[in-house]
């Protein structure tokens, strides 16, 4: 059991707007963060601050964060509401998945050149990268010229925003509206331990079968856990922030592995992107080497993250929650009325 009160110095590692407030009720915090993220997911397409690729990346990241928080309080949401909202966000993200994928495979190819270029003949893989760059540009141009694509994405996010805005934050409203998240650890316990358990099993499956799709599924569960840890970081910052940072690194490694797997699959179906068979064979060998390195690194971090049994994790976070309540009550007791 933890014996010292949580500090706050590590909270600066993450955006505090993404975290449960110090004395904020759980339902209010979930609603606030999800609505802010839905607004951010749509707003990036209009702020003029970056490319379409950057807007897509940020939008998909915000959508993943909302879905992770929905999973965190899954036990408090009626099945039909959870399924509708989760599927709606999933379908919205898929509309722009091709844009993100085109950018990802280009970054994967560039990483191979960056890692091994000094050992290769000058100009190796330059043509491949140029072709992938043109493919990315054409994919983004096609999206820009599509009169419906971005509009469909934004309208879907706006509808979700307005739906979430109507959700009551009063737990007692559940009896009337079917919605209402109690301010208790029990409201997040099943979602948190379920996410952890799913990630643990996904890791075992990935290394047992070694299929690219399995590593991709594991990455999804890692991302869910990372966003949930970020939201719950104020419960015990010294521990939870460290876990969130490890999950962030693990998710990035698995993301690089997934981009590399998608690039290898693309070259299998589109050999014209690397027409020289010897260069294509060399790239495949180096990409396989890189995937092996990434998966070894992921396993090391994964064993660290998932060393604890789900029941133990649940009990530990229950204690963190209780300590948070004690700190809140202690601060209220110190208020002096003049």
CATH of 25-180, one of 1.25.40.10, 3.40.50.20, 1.40.20.10, 3.40.640.10: 1.40.20.10
pLDDT, greater one: 53 or 198 = 198
pLDDT per position as a tens digit, 154-190: 999 999 999 999 998 887 887 777 788 999 999 999 9
pLDDT at 315 over 60: yes
pLDDT at 8 over 60: no
Q: Cα separation of 91 and 159, whole Å? A: 13
Q: How far is CA 250 from CA 257, 297, 305, in A?
A: 11, 8, 9
Q: Cα separation of 217 and 204, whole Å? A: 11
- What is the average pLDDT across 48-73? 91
What local confidence, expressed as pLDDT, does residue 301 receive?
Answer: 97
What local confidence, expressed as pLDDT, does residue 106 receive?
Answer: 98
Inter-residue contact 14 to 247 (CB < 8 Å):
no
What local confidence, expressed as pLDDT, does residue 147 receive?
Answer: 83
Longest Cα–Cα distance of the chain, Å, equals 83
The alpha-helical segments, DSSP class H, found in the chain are 26-43, 52-72, 79-95, 97-116, 126-145, 149-165, 174-177, 186-209, 212-232, 237-269, 277-305, 310-333
Q: Cα separation of 82 and 2, whole Å? A: 34
For the whole model, what pTM was predicted? 0.91
What local confidence, expressed as pLDDT, does residue 334 receive?
Answer: 52
pLDDT at 88 over 80: yes
């Amino acid at each position: 059991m933890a014996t010292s009160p949580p500090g706050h110095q590590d909270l600066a590692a993450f955006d505090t707007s993404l975290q449960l407030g110090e004395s904020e009720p759980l339902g209010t915090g979930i609603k606030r963060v999800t609505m802010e993220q839905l607004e951010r997911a749509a707003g990036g397409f209009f702020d003029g601050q970056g490319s379409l690729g950057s807007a897509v990346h940020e939008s998909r990241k915000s959508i993943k964060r909302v879905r992770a928080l929905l999973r965190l309080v899954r036990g408090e949401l009626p099945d039909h509401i959870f399924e509708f909202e989760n599927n709606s966000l999933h379908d919205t993200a898929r509309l722009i998945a091709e844009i993100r994928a085109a950018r990802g495979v280009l970054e994967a190819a560039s990483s191979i050149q960056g890692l091994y270029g000094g050992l290769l003949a000058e100009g190796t893989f330059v043509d491949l990268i140029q072709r992938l760059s043109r493919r990315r540009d054409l994919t983004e141009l096609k999206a820009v010229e599509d009169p419906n694509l971005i509009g469909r994405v934004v309208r879907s996010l706006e509808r979700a925003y307005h739906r979430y805005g109507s959700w009551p934050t009063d737990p007692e409203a559940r009896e009337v509206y079917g919605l209402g998240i109690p301010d208790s650890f029990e409201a997040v316990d099943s979602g948190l331990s379920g996410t952890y358990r799913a990630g643990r099993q996904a890791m075992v499956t990935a290394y047992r079968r070694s299929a690219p799709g399995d590593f991709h599924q594991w990455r999804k569960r890692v991302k869910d856990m990372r966003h949930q840890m970020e939201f719950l970081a104020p419960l015990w910052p010294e521990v939870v922030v460290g876990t969130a940072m490890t999950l962030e690194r693990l998710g990035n490694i698995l993301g690089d592995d997934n981009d590399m797997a998608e690039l290898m699959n693309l070259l299998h179906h589109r050999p014209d992107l690397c027409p020289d068979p010897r260069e294509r064979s060399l790239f495949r060998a180096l990409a396989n080497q890189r995937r092996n390195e990434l998966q070894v690194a992921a396993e090391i971090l994964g064993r660290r993250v998932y060393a604890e049994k789900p029941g133990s994790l649940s009990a530990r976070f229950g204690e963190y929650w209780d300590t948070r309540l004690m700190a809140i009550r202690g601060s209220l007791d110190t208020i002096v009325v003049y």
